[in-house]
Structure 1
């Protein structure tokens, strides 16, 4: 599978990325890929070890004569977001990702590509594989479950890394370098409601909101894209006065992805069914108007259904009411980084099955205090509406240091390699730098990568030319850092 990747430049990077594509690696299921990388490292005599979380660390000694250079850590993650396009059957725990080229971009057929962060991780391995490169002591850190709220980085072994210069390879815009990122936390609730058989005179419908682009809940949150959970909750809340009863609900698969589709099986009094279907169609037209030029594929559909049990009308109103009332999207913009979202919230996962209701929200912020305040507000709203909130411990942001010597060095190398100075940026997304920096406060860090679009969605693609430029800059940076 994916033999064409072997013909692309830079050869070493694409060869490793082929391994990533051919080896299933959803979050929590990275073991097969980690074992392949360990076997590759053994063939080349490279040291490797794992920590208690399953993170993989590889080490390569410095080139002869460069043993005194500062150690460099190249960092990425093994896992990928698993999303398939509507109608595409793909088992992310068994099936490889099938890639193809189109117009200078590499795509997957009907699924997420995994360029986030397979390209960056493959680049780190390519550097270890490059026998023509002059370098100081090198480490490649590949974490697990990054896409599941940075689990690997949170559990990273204390003082495991020897290098004091870290190049995170998990950014998605060529020509940019990141020096700060948002921290995050999740808020969830889980409640079991009684179900009962539907009474006579009730009619069932399956209602869906679908056809949306989806996207990254940090990088894309400012674009005004439709979130299927939000749109369906708005419609169901409007219809709740008609005696709506919820039988089931299925919306979203990842807390860090803007939900592309959501479905609810509901029941209404039969004599209100014509009015209900008219309202569903009206909301479909309304959503198309509101999302014109932004998310024009939005579709609201309905079809007959035959649920035999459902949650009572009062409890159904509580469920759709709290979903409708919870804040979503941009909560504030940064004053210190103009044009960057400071704080946001995403409604990523909503489920109702056999009476068990589960909701998961993801909060991001460049300021830990603003993150904690939004988490507190969400918990208060859930409590006031009778839902018990649960929060995770959160993870810290990465505070920018525009005066760091590593950044100045990168700017010089980037301009010498590409002819252009990089843009210095702060990103509203959870890079692992914040967590690694908290464990290694003396470490200098930057993040850069090739151009990736549509991350966390089946539209994910990577610019092939940008990958070549990215690797050239990375290679030049490694050689420059060896000259200290």
Structure 2
């Protein structure tokens, strides 16, 4: 079934158009131009700032001229993740969405419902002529998924509204009024090499569930880098490590990792040792990760490997590197307070580079975690660099827009929406630094497994979200 057959048709049509435009983070020129062209077609005023953010303005409908101005906000970029056997090129190829029962998915890649559905809904409001609303601004931010560059680069005074509705939440029936802050951490360890002897092998871990490094971190899914390092540490002196690679993006839990090593041992001996340990590791993983696989193959490689000292230092530091939930919130049930995602490792030019994303509701706790991790790498002879820090979004309980969202949501859902805080990075905390007077809240449809090729959006939830959004716009006075 094509997306054009789904309801609400106007939202799904826009989402299909967004899927047809390659839009990985930092390659957003085409999708930005699409929004500008669409605004021109609709005879609406639009501007793009130097960071790549776009605002489209639509006048109030008749009778709503005195209502508070509302900003609908979504980001245009998407996370680029694919299965290992996919040939998809995110820079040139469209996303291929398809209907699977009650869900829309993509073929072997991330779907981009995060935040494509929110952007599509904002475009649909701009294009509709039967929705009551006050003066409206739709803010399409740039490069959210890697550092929130668009939100950080937003200029104060550019937007005129009083209320911001962020359309980037991922559970229908929940209203988000706060989120974690974060910081990018990059660590480097110098490595030295020597001539290798023996046979070269490639060891690969794949098939893990992965997911969003904020929302899904509480699920304690396996990290491919951690699993690989655990196996390499156990092999010890049986191997001479030559390379280790894993993960792709800071905000995605690593699903795949691989290492190249040399050994004097035969394949059969190594295979047996590895699989005995791997079965023990699998027993510690959740049911979601039981499709995890490990493969050992002969490999063609240059005859260089790490020195014994470098190998020991690399593996011990990676083994000790914090990953996952660091602390739970003591006041809110099932809310992660602080976490680290060991997101990516690579060996480049005599250095092991490690990329992590640290999150916390508490800036002090986030900074303390960063300090502990920096101490670890610096004690091992490496360096630490912290960048792109952004504050969390502190909730304002009882704000008028939250009450409107809750009231309209209860009418529609038949129950009181849940109001809470999430352990993920929404742009609202950064936007509040530019516009501290804004009332802000976030809501959206149900999107599962964002930041992974298993990403999917529930069809029925999109329709409910669309009606909820329209009713809220009409209710704002």
Which interval holds the TM-score relative to the shorter structure? Answer: over 0.9
Cα distance, 1:154 vs. partner?
A: 1.5
SS in 1 for 2:122: helix
Q: Deviations over 1:210-237 (max 9, x none)?
A: 1111111111111121110111111112
Whether contact under 8 Å (1:5, 1:14) holds in the other structure is yes
Query: Which residue of the partner structure matches residue 279 of structure 1?
Result: 273
Cα distance, 1:129 vs. partner?
A: 0.8
Query: Which residue of the partner structure matches residue 150 of structure 1?
Result: 148
Whether contact under 8 Å (1:283, 1:300) holds in the other structure is no
Cα distance, 1:354 vs. partner?
A: 4.9
1:29 to 24, 27, 33: 27
Query: Which residue of the partner structure matches residue 374 of structure 1?
Result: 369
Query: Which residue of the partner structure matches residue 306 of structure 1?
Result: 300
Query: Which residue of the partner structure matches residue 244 of structure 2?
Result: 249
Cα distance, 1:289 vs. partner?
A: 1.4
Whether contact under 8 Å (1:73, 1:167) holds in the other structure is yes
Question: Given the superposition, is the C-alpha separation of residues 36 and 393 from structure 1 closer, same or farther in structure 2, using an over 3 Å criterion?
Answer: closer
* Matched ranges for 1:164-313 at <5 A: 164-199=162-197, 202-242=198-238, 244-268=239-263, 270-271=264-265, 275-308=269-302, 309-313=304-308
Scaled by the length of structure 2, the TM-score of the pair is 0.97
Could you tell me how far apart the structure 2 residues matched to 1:425 and 1:253 are?
30
Structure 1 residue 449 and structure 2 residue 435: aligned? no
Cα distance, 1:273 vs. partner?
A: 6.1
The unaligned stretches of length 5 or more in structure 2 are none
Query: Which residue of the partner structure matches residue 468 of structure 1?
Result: 463
User: Over aligned residues, Cα RMSD in angstroms?
Assistant: 1.5
Cα distance, 1:274 vs. partner?
A: 5.5
SS in 1 for 2:2: helix
Whether contact under 8 Å (2:203, 2:260) holds in the other structure is yes
Could you tell me how far apart the structure 1 residues matched to 2:456 and 2:57 are?
30
Query: Which residue of the partner structure matches residue 391 of structure 1?
Result: 386
Could you tell me how far apart the structure 2 residues matched to 1:245 and 1:56 are?
52
The unaligned stretches of length 5 or more in structure 1 are none
Could you tell me how far apart the structure 2 residues matched to 1:361 and 1:25 are?
23
Could you tell me how far apart the structure 2 residues matched to 1:170 and 1:218 are?
14
Query: Which residue of the partner structure matches residue 318 of structure 1?
Result: 313
Cα distance, 1:326 vs. partner?
A: 0.7
Q: Deviations over 1:114-144 (max 9, x none)?
A: 0000000110111111111111011111111
Whether contact under 8 Å (1:212, 1:261) holds in the other structure is yes
Could you tell me how far apart the structure 2 residues matched to 1:375 and 1:160 are?
34
SS in 2 for 1:68: coil
SS in 2 for 1:113: coil
Cα distance, 1:328 vs. partner?
A: 0.9
Could you tell me how far apart the structure 2 residues matched to 1:297 and 1:222 are?
20
Whether contact under 8 Å (1:205, 1:267) holds in the other structure is yes
Cα distance, 1:195 vs. partner?
A: 3.6
Query: Which residue of the partner structure matches residue 136 of structure 1?
Result: 134
